[in-house]
Amino acid sequence: MSGRSALAVAIALAGCTAPAQVGARALPADVAAFVERRDACDHFRGEEPYDAARAAELKTKLAETCTGTDAALAALRRKYSGNRQVIERLSGYDGQIE
């Protein structure tokens, strides 16, 4: 890979780790962390436990990523109740999954 191609790939990949954004503004750090965790939770909630090992793995992942997110979501909604962009970003999450 040429130096120029490697640079293009590096720049493209750097965009994958950018902070979560709402419009042109970045989300507050606590909201971005919640979004990342809850998206992982929702991913694992949609997985099928096709055998006992996978069921055990999913149980662990769900405990790691989902536990406490109901309370965290409610707290963030209260904290940022005056921030339309944050509330809009959080609006797609179900408030009771635990």
pTM greater than the 0.85 cutoff: no
Domain boundaries, the chain: 3-90
* pLDDT recorded at residue 3: 40
Q: pLDDT digit string (tens) for 30-83?
A: 999 999 999 999 999 999 999 999 999 999 999 999 999 999 999 999 999 999
Q: Write a three-state SS string for the chain.
A: CCHHHHHHHHHHHHHHHCCCEECCEECCHHHHHHHHHHHHHHHHHCCCCCCHHHHHHHHHHHHHHHCCHHHHHHHHHHHCCCCHHHHHHHCCCCCCCC
The larger pLDDT score, comparing residue 83 to residue 3, is at 83
The predicted model gives 17-36 an average pLDDT of 75
